A and B are shown apart, each in its own frame.
Chain A
Amino acid sequence: MDHHSPLNDAAKKSAGNELGSWQREIDLPSERGASRIVMDDLLEQLGIHGWSPSDIFSIHLAAEEAIVNAIIHGNKLDPSKKVHVSCLISVDLARIEVTDEGSGFDPGSVPDCTLADRLEMPGGRGVMLMRTFMTRLEYSDRGNRVLMEKQRTSE
């Protein structure tokens, strides 16, 4: 069986479920609200794989923040640029990679939004929430790709 052939999605999905994981690669347009294109499936698959509502909330928030950052700060809403999203969901691991075509940024330069004099200023909260809610968060050297992983929280 040729695993690289574009078999219809339904066949691929059911095979994935038997193996215990679901994968999806998709290019999103650099438009506000484009995260919706992948988010409904992602949330549905987390439910199918038995993730708790609390973990689903965390992953939803982190994925949303990463994709919005890529669209707005990375690609700066440029219609000629895409945001590439790669997801892997299994019963104990959620891995999401978001890549934009922007010039990248230095994650170390994002101000700490919890410092007393910055508490009431906008900015920096998205990255902080992603870091806290996910088990692992890594940016590429250029800063235009973020890899996030969450291990399932034991009950």
Chain B
Amino acid sequence: MSTHRRINVAKIGDVTVVKFLDKKILDEANIQELGLELFSLIEHDNRKSILLNFSDVEFLSSAALGKLITLDRKVKASKGRLKMSNIRPEIFEVFQITKLNKVFDIRNDESEAVAAF
């Protein structure tokens, strides 16, 4: 099993639930590492159903959005499914302004998201 420094990975049934270890996702080097860890879930671990739970995330920058967009593309290319949940209002506003709420499948909480796979 691979070790992660930026994320915590658990399983609920067939769904891989990812939580972020950084409250603030803004440091360029950490975002780079975060991207690699997320992409490896698909490219190395072959996970098909991935839920990103943002409950511990207080802040993220546009560089982090870029990684989420790339992750979404990689999941779609591998015929997997990606959902997101527990996004606090300020961060949801960031998704709305950039219209990424139309690209990503965003659910209120973890149980609703898991049930929707």
Interface residues of A (CB under 8 A from B): 32-33, 35, 53-54, 57-58, 60-61, 64-65, 68, 72, 113-114, 119-123, 125-126, 128-129, 132-133
- Interface contact B103-A120, CB-CB below 8 Å: yes
The interface residues of chain A, by DSSP majority, are classed as: helix
Complex CA distance for A100 and B45, rounded to whole angstroms = 42
Pairs of residues from A and B, 10 with the lowest C-beta to C-beta distance, nearest first: A125-B62, A126-B62, A32-B28, A57-B90, A114-B99, A122-B66, A132-B97, A125-B98, A33-B27, A120-B69
| Chain B residues near A122 (CB-CB < 8 A) | 66, 69-70
Give 25 pairs: A residue, B residue, CB < 8 Å, sorted on A: A32-B27, A33-B28, A35-B26, A53-B90, A54-B89, A57-B59, A58-B90, A64-B26, A65-B62, A68-B28, A68-B61, A72-B28, A113-B98, A114-B99, A119-B99, A120-B69, A120-B72, A120-B73, A120-B103, A122-B66, A123-B66, A126-B61, A129-B97, A129-B98, A133-B97
Interface residues of B (CB under 8 A from A): 26-29, 59, 61-63, 65-66, 69-70, 72-73, 89-90, 94, 97-100, 102-103
Complex CA distance for A33 and B99, rounded to whole angstroms = 27
